[in-house]
């Protein structure tokens, strides 16, 4: 459903009732990033998936994006929905947004789950990401799709997922389809938001119980980067999903859901 939140229109999937779990997707994604979880999660848990500006059915908004601005969007959505406290699950770019939310609005975040994300890009990585953004803005969506294909190829050559070949192919297909529906300027702005995220964000202040999850064979986020993230958040628990790539919730949904359900104390039946 489309709702008015903080001066912009946001498409939100809102299912179930009870304690809320907010799922924040990655760059170029949609609510479908979490389709396996939404299909399995019990009705007594309220699952809320806001789509980022320019993603899915959420219209783009003129101007540059930042993780702090995107966190503000999440706050606005939750206020409209009457949600005062929630578990926040952030995937990739959504994980950076979730960190900002937990630091800036600690009363809002009951528990925090960070999936295949980092503390932020290094200086060298930031330069590479900015070059990617420039290429996407100049050449359009073919350049953005080439990034997905490049990552998928790297995963195939060096970090092969444990998921069956047909499942991997289907995963790449839906990812390309969702990405292809975006405006190249939105993708470029998202890449710049990734590059500009401040790695000095004081995540050591995060008091919410935190679970950090990473795919063992993620070609984008190395296991050591996820371990560094967990270490920087006092008391955070690190889980490495064996054989999974950058989207462990889709590569190995049963394993991912098991860890998440245990952390949240939810019975998936």
What is the dihedral sign for C-alpha 44, 50, 56, 59? positive
**Angle of the 141-157 helix axis to the 123-139 helix axis, nearest 10:** 130
Which fold, 2-120+198-264? Rossmann fold (3.40.50)
pLDDT of residue 176: 60
Question: Do strands 237-241 and 46-50 pair parallel, antiparallel, or not at all (unpaired)?
Answer: unpaired
Dihedral angle, C-alpha 191, 193, 194, 199, nearest 10 °? 160
Burial class (CB in 10 A: 0-12, 13-18, 19+), 44: exposed
Strand-pairing partners, residue 5, are 8
pLDDT of residue 181: 64
The least confident of 76-90, 153-167, 236-250 is 153-167
DSSP state of 199: T
Residue range 43-98, pLDDT digits in tens? 999 999 999 999 989 998 877 789 999 999 999 999 999 999 999 999 999 999 99
User: Rounded to whole angstroms, what are the CA distances from 206 to 39, 77, 172, 201?
Assistant: 30, 22, 34, 10
Report how far residue 119's alpha carbon sits from residue 183's, in angstroms, rounded to the nearest whole number. Answer: 27
Residue 160 has pLDDT above 50, yes or no: no
Q: Which residue has the higher pLDDT, 234 or 210?
A: 210
Question: Over the chain, what is the mean pLDDT?
Answer: 88
Report how far residue 27's alpha carbon sits from residue 106's, in angstroms, rounded to the nearest whole number. Answer: 24
37: which residues sit within 8 A by CB, 6+ positions away?
23, 47, 249, 253, 256, 257, 260
pLDDT of residue 151: 55
Residue range 177-225, pLDDT digits in tens? 666 667 888 889 999 999 999 999 999 999 999 999 999 999 889 999 9
**265 within 8 A of 259, measured Cβ to Cβ:** no
pLDDT of residue 148: 65
pLDDT of residue 177: 64
Report how far residue 95's alpha carbon sits from residue 119's, in angstroms, rounded to the nearest whole number. Answer: 9
Residue 139 has pLDDT above 90, yes or no: no
Q: Which residue has the higher pLDDT, 144 or 67?
A: 67
pLDDT of residue 159: 42
pLDDT of residue 157: 41
**Residue 172 binned pLDDT confidence (cut-offs 50, 70, 90):** low
Report how far residue 94's alpha carbon sits from residue 24's, in angstroms, rounded to the nearest whole number. Answer: 5
pLDDT of residue 175: 61
Residue range 97-120, pLDDT digits in tens? 999 999 999 999 999 999 999 999
Residue 152 has pLDDT above 60, yes or no: no
The per-residue DSSP string of 14-73 comes to EE--SSEEEEE--TT--GGGGHHHHHHS-TTSEEEEEPPTTSTTSPP-SS---HHHHHHH
How many C-beta atoms surround the C-beta of residue 77 within 10 A? 23
pLDDT of residue 164: 46
């Amino acid at each position: 459903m489309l709702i008015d939140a903080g001066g912009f229109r946001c498409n939100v999937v809102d299912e179930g009732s009870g304690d809320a779990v907010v799922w924040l997707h990655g760059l170029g994604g949609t609510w479908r990033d979490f389709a396996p979880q939404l299909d399995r999660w019990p009705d007594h848990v309220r699952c809320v998936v806001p789509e980022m500006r320019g993603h899915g059915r959420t219209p783009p908004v003129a101007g540059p994006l930042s993780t702090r601005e995107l966190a503000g969007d999440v706050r606005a959505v939750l206020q409209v929905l009457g949600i005062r406290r929630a578990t926040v699950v952030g995937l990739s770019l959504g994980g950076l947004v979730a960190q900002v939310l937990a630091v800036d609005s600690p009363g809002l975040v009951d528990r925090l789950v960070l999936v295949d994300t980092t503390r932020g890009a290094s200086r060298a990585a930031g330069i590479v990401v900015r070059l990617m953004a420039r290429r996407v803005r100049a050449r359009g969506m073919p350049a953005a799709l080439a990034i997905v294909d490049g990552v998928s190829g790297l995963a195939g050559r060096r970090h092969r997922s444990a998921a069956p070949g047909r499942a991997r192919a289907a995963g790449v297909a839906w990812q390309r389809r969702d990405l292809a529906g975006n405006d190249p300027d939105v993708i470029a702005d998202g890449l710049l938001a990734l590059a500009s995220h401040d790695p000095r964000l004081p995540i050591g202040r995060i008091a919410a119980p935190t679970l950090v999850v990473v795919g063992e064979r993620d070609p984008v986020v190395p296991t050591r980067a996820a371990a560094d993230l967990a270490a920087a958040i006092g008391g955070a628990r690190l889980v490495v999903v064996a054989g999974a790539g950058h989207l462990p919730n889709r590569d190995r949904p049963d394993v991912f859901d098991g860890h998440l359900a245990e952390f949240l104390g939810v019975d998936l039946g």
